[in-house]
Amino acid sequence: MQLGGLPIEHDVSAGTWLADAVGRSHWSTVGSLVPPVFPAYARVLHPAYRYDGDDDVEIPWAEVARLNGTVHHPRMQWPAVTRGWEYLHEDSQPPTWDGIPAEGHLPGTLAARMATVLARHTATPERCFFGRWAGSGYDAADLRDTPRLPLPRARDVVLVRGRVEDAVRNLAPEPSEQSANLWWPADRAWSVATDIDLMCTYVAGSRACIDDLLDTPGLEALPADPADRVGHADDPVNEVPPR
């Protein structure tokens, strides 16, 4: 069996090191998503979108913050930046943005830009592991007997093998769309996580790797720390609106 055209990895022990590392961190922190054993960390924000005919124009959080008079900072959260919980799943703020940032899914455009950078910071770009959350309902029956890498908070993933550029693949059956929720190279040079409940992706790696990501055009990437809290209500600068 395959996911997104990639072969399923039945020996999930390749991810034991990662599962053990994130399992030692508090569930609400960056360290529970990517191992808190790396020198540096980044948070890549998924863009909002403005619909322009048949095109979806990426709108960075910085522009949304300017619209709402809120502060753009590394630990900002979408409800606080937009001043409303309703913007998590509905509504929009035209003409600035029409579509919310993808939740639990790394858009393919961002995955491609990130993969180009990350390939430069591993000795094994041809040997990577990708984990997709096993709790998705669209193919649960097909994956019932597939080995899973156990992760905290019921985030268990099914693993596939591929090259770093395969980060752009859709690991869900059409017409559904789902990126890898977790990926890393065989040499463990870095780790990437897109939690199913978040509108951003976290990356852990060397200082050079993270600096490279932070400087990449087309990525709204900000520095992060393993102790940073990741919940939608965990904005320490902007006022979090009442639910």
Instruction: Residue 178: name the closest of 169, 187, 189 by CA.
Output: 169
pLDDT band at 230 (very low <50, low <70, confident <90, very high): very high
Q: Token pair 């922190």 is at which residue? A: 29
Phi and psi (nearest 5°) for 142? -70, -30
Q: Is the pLDDT of residue 143 over 90?
A: no
Distance (Å) of CA 164 to CA 48, 51, 117, 130, 168: 25, 30, 10, 9, 9
Q: Mean pLDDT of all residues in the chain?
A: 96
Residue 59 — pLDDT band, cuts 50, 70, 90?
A: very high
| pLDDT of the residue at 103 | 97
The backbone torsions φ and ψ at residue 8, rounded to the nearest 5 degrees and listed phi first, read: -70, 140
User: Which pLDDT value is given to residue 138?
Assistant: 80
Average pLDDT over residues 72-93: 96
Helix-, strand-, coil-residue percentages of the chain, each rounded to 5: 25, 25, 50
pLDDT at 140 over 80: no
The pLDDT tens digits of the residues spanning 165-215 come to 999 999 998 899 999 999 999 999 999 999 999 999 999 999 999 999 999
**Residue type for 110, please?**
L
**Residue 90: what pLDDT?**
85
- For residue 142, pLDDT over 90 is answered with no
Q: What is the pTM of this model?
A: 0.97
Mean pLDDT of 36-65: 97
